[in-house]
Amino acid sequence: MDYEIQCFVSYLGEVRKASHNTVLSYHSDLTKMAAYAKEKGAESIDEITATILNSYVLDLERCGMASSTISRYVASMKAFFEYLVREHRIQEDPALQLKAPRVERQLPDILTVQEMERLLDQPVTDGPKGSRDKAMLELLYATGLRVSELVHLKTGDVNLNFGWVICRENDRERMIPFGKKAGQALRQYMEKGRDAFLKKEDSDFLFLNCSGMPMSRQGFWKVLKSYAAKAGIEKDITPRMFRHSCAAHMAAGGAQLQTIREMLGHSDLAATQIYAGFQPGMRKEYSKAHPRG
């Protein structure tokens, strides 16, 4: 079974270009399933039956595991056995009728438009640090980038003339537009602030720390927390909240979910469906207060 699992996760990484964290997640889920199957007497992959898989899911429920986690396990098993059938490693799919527990989708935590405006107005941009922080915050909100994507941007990934940023991940890239406010902040930082962070050696990373090294996720988190405190925001703010807020405010403003999906880089529209919960109640407020520019 270990061999089949390894073949599958290699396929995810090399062919499907899944992220490293996604590959690790699938590997962990399937390894636990395989251990359970062996306990039930299934020594090879073709000895795993629908009964064993259903029993496994019931055991997870009895252990009090969260429905969302069980659903992820079920999704991993379904994808795995579909792959094995497609590759003719097994004849029948034992996970075909496997059902995940119902998961109540909750709307993600977001900042209101007013809170976001207040937060984005905090950096004082008359110095290099303030101009850098302003550019990072504005770009994160404008594009919905993941913080890991933000800190890995290179100077060549930004087109100020056309208002686009190119995000590259696992041999895939997507072009994401940004508005005037983000463009203005980026231009000020790149033309007047960034050189102050460069030390003896040049760097092609866009956002640098005071040592001239690329800004880290942890470093940006500290920056974000400090500005949230200054803005009087009591929510437990995270960089991911910026991503959710961008998507939710766009949905409330009338953007199509397919457009949001492409911006965020979701591989499946189902991952974007959660933002439909923000339509259309915030639309009137959003139209007055957003986008920034």
Domain ranges of the chain: 2-86, 113-289
DSSP 215: P
Per-residue pLDDT at 101: 75
Q: Strands 158-159 and 164-169: what pairing?
A: antiparallel
To the nearest whole number, what is the mean pLDDT of the chain? Answer: 86
Q: Would the CATH topology of 2-86 be identical to that of 113-289? A: no
Whether the Cβ atoms of residue 112 and residue 232 lie closer than 8 Å to each other: no
DSSP alpha helix (H) spans, 15-127: 20-39, 50-62, 67-86, 113-120
Per-residue pLDDT at 273 exceeds 80: no
Q: Which CATH class is domain 2-86?
A: mainly alpha
Q: Give residue 286's pLDDT.
A: 37
Token look-up 């497609």 returns: 86
Q: Encode pLDDT of 27-41 as tens digits.
A: 999 999 999 999 999
Tokens standing for residue 280: 């259309």
Residue 128 to residues 69, 187, 188, Cα–Cα distance (Å): 44, 12, 9
d(CA 190, CA 202): 14
Say yes or no to pLDDT of 287 above 50. no
In tens, the pLDDT along 149-184 reads 999 999 999 999 999 999 887 667 888 899 899 999
pLDDT the model gives residue 103: 59
84 contacts: CB under 8 Å, gap ≥ 6? 4, 8, 45, 90, 93
**Least reliable range by pLDDT among 24-28, 71-75, 78-82, 196-200:** 196-200
Using CA atoms of 81, 82, 86, 87 in order, give the dihedral in degrees to the nearest 10: -30
pLDDT tens profile 92-148: 999 988 887 765 566 778 899 999 999 999 999 999 999 999 999 999 999 999 999
Q: Where are the beta strands (DSSP E) in the chain?
A: 158-159, 164-169, 172-177
Average pLDDT over residues 247-260: 84
CATH (residue range 113-289):
1.10.443.10
Residue partners of 1: CB distance under 8 A and separation at least 6: 34, 37, 38, 42, 44, 45, 48
> Token pair for residue 153?
């941007």
- pTM beyond cutoff 0.95: no
Give kind and range of the element (H or E) at residue 143: helix 128-143
* Mean pLDDT on 270-289: 57
